[in-house]
Amino acid sequence: MESIMIYMPIVLAILGLIYMTIKQKWVMKQDAGDGKMKEISDHIYEGALAFLKAEYRLLAVFVLIVSVLLAIVSFVVPTTHWLIVIAFIFGAVFSAFAGNIGMKIATKTNVRTTQAAKSSLPNALKISFGGGTVMGLGVAGLAVLGLTTFFIIFFHFFMGGVWTNTMDMTIVLETLAGFSLGAESIALFARVGGGIYTKAADVGADLVGKVEAGIPEDDPRNPATIADNVGDNVGDVAGMGADLFGSYVATVLAAMVLGNYVIKDMGGNIGEAFGGIGPILLPMAIAGAGIIISVIGTMLVKIKSNDAKENQVMGALNLGNWVSIALVAISCFALVTWMLPETMKMNFFGEGLQDISSMRVFYATLVGLFVGAVISSITEYYTGLGKKPILKIVQQSSTGAGTNIIAGLATGMISTFPSVLLFAGAIWASYALAGFYGVALAASAMMATTAMQLAIDAFGPIADNAGGIAEMSEQDPIVRERTDILDSVGNTTAATGKGFAIASAALTSLALFAAYVTFTGIDGINIFKAPVLAMLFVGGMVPVVFSALAMNAVGKAAMEMVQEVRRQFRDIPGIMEGTGKPEYDKCVAISTEASLREMMLPGLLTIGFPLVIAFVPMLFGMDNLAIAEMLGGYMAGVTVSGVLWAIFQNNAGGAWDNAKKSFEAGVEIDGKMTYKGSEAHKAAVTGDTVGDPFKDTSGPSMNILIKLTCLIGLVVAPILGGHANDAMTVENEVSIEKVVQDGNTQVIKKAAIEKYTDGSAKATVKTTTITNGIENVKEETFKGSFEEVKRKVKELGDNVTVSVLEKE
């Protein structure tokens, strides 16, 4: 049983994917309506396909370029294996495929939801949430399947499928990092490109349609309306999916890397159980269990009454979510006690090796689940309708757009307070419990519910689209009312989902950061070294500049859309009377091209900076470990600043949005009820204009920025790190001898020889003598030719056994 545990996650992932296929078939069998409904839905579907196609074309070029670069690196740097290229390509393909499944099902489910809403709200929920479930399981299933499969392949390729030593496992995991890098690269395109797409279409459609032509939202006469609806899917479905796919893979990978280090801290061998790699398998096992748990969770989401209100729908989603979290906690307990040694040794900085019981690892997973749950509540508080911060923004709208915007900015800024304290507390607690392995497992546990989270999250834009289709095809008002209930719940889940995505990105980055330090073999990252501090500054600046570039990109792309819509209104006869047909595809093409073009610069910034920091100082002959430390400072800067700006922008944007929406039901300002169309509402609309790129483009992009930065660091790590250095160690074997002389003298000797590829070597001999209460520690190093050094070590005395392992 134990020995086949390595295949367990694959089996669970396949089970999840089978369930997904069944659900997919079921959704597709539902009535897709007819006439105008179908026509509009087809337009959206085709628009989405057009975006995917264009994206894939660009992706293919990107993947090709990066593959060539990786291949060159793998040939030049001896310890980087060319298999990383294969892993990279498959990581990209798997993520793209998951996005494809999600987009297709989302754009097929929307019209079916509208159709179902004609007769039944419970059915409409069942269908829209079914679509979300397909998306969620597709992402999680493919992530686990891909990562686990490649791990097994590399485990067999490099180690013959049996435990040898931590060094070999490091090479396995370094190669596996390619899969994660591929996945996160797709996320860059989907999240950043998608974010620009969705807002360019939205702003373009609104500016000309609503403001200039005076036609309502989702009016089929507006040429940009299809692009707008496609945008919801591109941004919220494909973007979010790729984001979480990347987080899922990266988190599990980082936890595996740190699991390998637990084994190292325990002396390089922990016995036969689970092939000797229990701590490495554990995160994969939790991820696998999470898929099945999510399936159970999604089954619980249903309502019975056709007259249900938002509360009941929300309640159904919450039930599924909370049950999933509880089940993950239980399975973490079971897996941790089963798979980990009862007591482990972990190396804590400045405190040395400590005994850590497996129970403490379990507590660390609880910390992760806690963070996932609480961050959603925090987000909900700062952006939820009827909550104090929103009411305050509404009040401030009465004195104009200026005060509305100040209030929104302040809300987003203040919301960093509880969020950051939560993250800081989680880092501290999970580290105190089980070191960085604890931090990574906290992240893994939180991410285990990814499929469920995505189902809840993807259901929102589906319901939104369903409402749009109901409007465009001029359905009975009751249909729109029902989809509006779903849409309104979807808006809340969208905000909380963003909170979950930030938390996952933050914890993932921390885990990657920890894995990075272990990969490079540096002692730590000391920001008292000026170059490291300088890079911390530079890293802190990048998210700010990235956000600005993303916002400017939206502005530019939206302007192109405005020109095109204006042209169509001018050139196509009878368009306003509904007799001329707008050229939807031209608008779709514009946002597609503009979004992919405009994401180049921020993408270049993301990828370019860490590479410049890693390789330019090398040209000037800087020490590799010093560079590794600088790059670590940069990564920390990006992470800290990126998390802050993500929270700030997402919550400010969400708050403005709901402040605007508050006017729809009417709000009381200075004792007077105020509605849509009032001056205060206009001010709130201005605030929402600012908030749109915040919450849908630059804010969510931060997740990708910080994860991709840390991943690039991780992939570069072996090049900078100890065992990849040009004239670097071939092996570093330590043999320990203890000799007790007399009654009151104890001598402990340790010797280690590092042999370099240039034939030279360095020996370190540490002798601790304790006599009459005096502790004497002697550390000697010898440098010279390998033979000389070996002789010198031998000379030191009989108590030292020298074992040198040569390799490569």
Site for a second copy in 240-269 (CB under 8 A): none
Site for a second copy in 286-315 (CB under 8 A): none
Among positions 60, 64, 334, 421, the unique one binding a second copy when judged by CB under 8 A: 421
Residue closer to a second copy by CB (options 449, 518) is 518
Give the separation between CA 640 and CA 633, rounded to whole angstroms: 11
Find where tokens 């078939």 sit: 25
Smallest gap from residue 12 Cβ to a second copy (A): 31
Q: Taking CB under 8 A as the rule, which mask of x and - marks residues 764-793 in contact with a second copy? A: --------xxxxxxxxxxxxxx--xx--x-
Among positions 545, 611, 616, 734, the unique one binding a second copy when judged by CB under 8 A: 545
Site for a second copy in 198-217 (CB under 8 A): 207
Smallest gap from residue 490 Cβ to a second copy (A): 24
Q: Which region among 187-195, 216-224, 409-417, 450-458 touches a second copy (by CB under 8 A)?
A: 409-417
Residue closer to a second copy by CB (options 338, 381) is 381
Smallest gap from residue 315 Cβ to a second copy (A): 33
Give the separation between CA 415 and CA 694, rounded to whole angstroms: 14
Smallest gap from residue 473 Cβ to a second copy (A): 31
User: Does the footprint of a second copy cover residue 428 (CB under 8 A)?
Assistant: yes
Torsion 178-174-162-245 (CA) sign:
negative
Residue closer to a second copy by CB (options 242, 690) is 690
Residue closer to a second copy by CB (options 524, 578) is 524
Please say whether the beta carbons of 441 and 282 come within 8 A.
yes
Site for a second copy in 551-580 (CB under 8 A): 551-552, 555
**DSSP E strand boundaries for 106-222:** none
Give the separation between CA 683 and CA 687, rounded to whole angstroms: 6
Give the separation between CA 245 and CA 582, rounded to whole angstroms: 36
Give the separation between CA 59 and CA 197, rounded to whole angstroms: 16
Find where tokens 């692009």 sit: 227
Smallest gap from residue 648 Cβ to a second copy (A): 6
User: Does the footprint of a second copy cover residue 541 (CB under 8 A)?
Assistant: yes
What does the longest C-alpha to C-alpha distance in the chain come to?
106
Smallest gap from residue 413 Cβ to a second copy (A): 4
User: Does the footprint of a second copy cover residue 727 (CB under 8 A)?
Assistant: no
Smallest gap from residue 799 Cβ to a second copy (A): 17
Q: With contacts defined by CB under 8 A, how many residues of the chain interact with a second copy?
A: 94
**DSSP E strand boundaries for 675-790:** 729-741, 745-756, 760-771, 774-785
User: Does the footprint of a second copy cover residue 379 (CB under 8 A)?
Assistant: no
Smallest gap from residue 178 Cβ to a second copy (A): 24
Question: Tokens representing 556?
Answer: 């530019």
Residue closer to a second copy by CB (options 213, 300) is 213
Q: Which region among 290-298, 378-386, 550-558, 566-574 touches a second copy (by CB under 8 A)?
A: 550-558
Q: Which region among 115-123, 145-153, 334-342, 416-424 touches a second copy (by CB under 8 A)?
A: 416-424
Q: Which region among 34-42, 216-224, 318-326, 511-519 touches a second copy (by CB under 8 A)?
A: 511-519
CB atoms within 10 A of CB 421: 11
Residue closer to a second copy by CB (options 92, 207) is 207
Residue closer to a second copy by CB (options 155, 513) is 513
Q: Establish how many alpha carbons lie within 13 A of residue 401's alpha carbon, considering only the half-sphere containing its beta carbon.
A: 9
Q: How distant, in Å, are the alpha carbons of 81, 615, 650, 676 from that of 406? A: 52, 42, 15, 21
Give the separation between CA 23 and CA 777, rounded to whole angstroms: 67
Question: Tokens representing 168?
Answer: 């070999």
Single out the residue of 490, 499, 489, 456 nearest to residue 136, CA to CA. 456
Smallest gap from residue 364 Cβ to a second copy (A): 11
Please say whether the beta carbons of 16 and 140 come within 8 A.
yes
Smallest gap from residue 779 Cβ to a second copy (A): 5
Give the separation between CA 501 and CA 706, rounded to whole angstroms: 12
Q: Taking CB under 8 A as the rule, which mask of x and - marks residues 521-540 in contact with a second copy? A: --xxxxxxxxx-xxxxxx-x
Residue closer to a second copy by CB (options 74, 396) is 396
Beta bridge partners of 737: 749
Residue closer to a second copy by CB (options 135, 635) is 635
Smallest gap from residue 424 Cβ to a second copy (A): 4
Site for a second copy in 645-704 (CB under 8 A): 648, 685-690, 693
Among positions 549, 646, 724, 752, the unique one binding a second copy when judged by CB under 8 A: 549
**DSSP E strand boundaries for 228-273:** none
Among positions 40, 441, 511, 514, the unique one binding a second copy when judged by CB under 8 A: 514
Smallest gap from residue 255 Cβ to a second copy (A): 15
Residue closer to a second copy by CB (options 193, 693) is 693
Among positions 8, 32, 49, 410, the unique one binding a second copy when judged by CB under 8 A: 410
Torsion 301-305-307-308 (CA) sign:
negative
Give the separation between CA 384 and CA 394, rounded to whole angstroms: 13
Smallest gap from residue 657 Cβ to a second copy (A): 13
Give the separation between CA 448 and CA 432, rounded to whole angstroms: 22
DSSP sequence for 275-344: GGTHHHHHHHHHHHHHHHHHHHHHHT-----TT--HHHHHHHHHHHHHHHHHHHHHHHHHHHHHHS-SEE
Site for a second copy in 605-644 (CB under 8 A): 626, 632-633, 636-637, 640-641, 643-644
Give the separation between CA 336 and CA 274, rounded to whole angstroms: 12
Distance of CA 786 to the CA centre of its chain: 46
Site for a second copy in 437-496 (CB under 8 A): 439
Site for a second copy in 152-191 (CB under 8 A): none
Site for a second copy in 8-67 (CB under 8 A): none
Smallest gap from residue 644 Cβ to a second copy (A): 6
Give the separation between CA 190 and CA 195, rounded to whole angstroms: 8
Smallest gap from residue 240 Cβ to a second copy (A): 23
Site for a second copy in 323-362 (CB under 8 A): 349-350
Give the separation between CA 520 and CA 16, rounded to whole angstroms: 36
Give the separation between CA 755 and CA 762, rounded to whole angstroms: 7
Q: Which region among 51-59, 183-191, 474-482, 544-552 touches a second copy (by CB under 8 A)?
A: 544-552
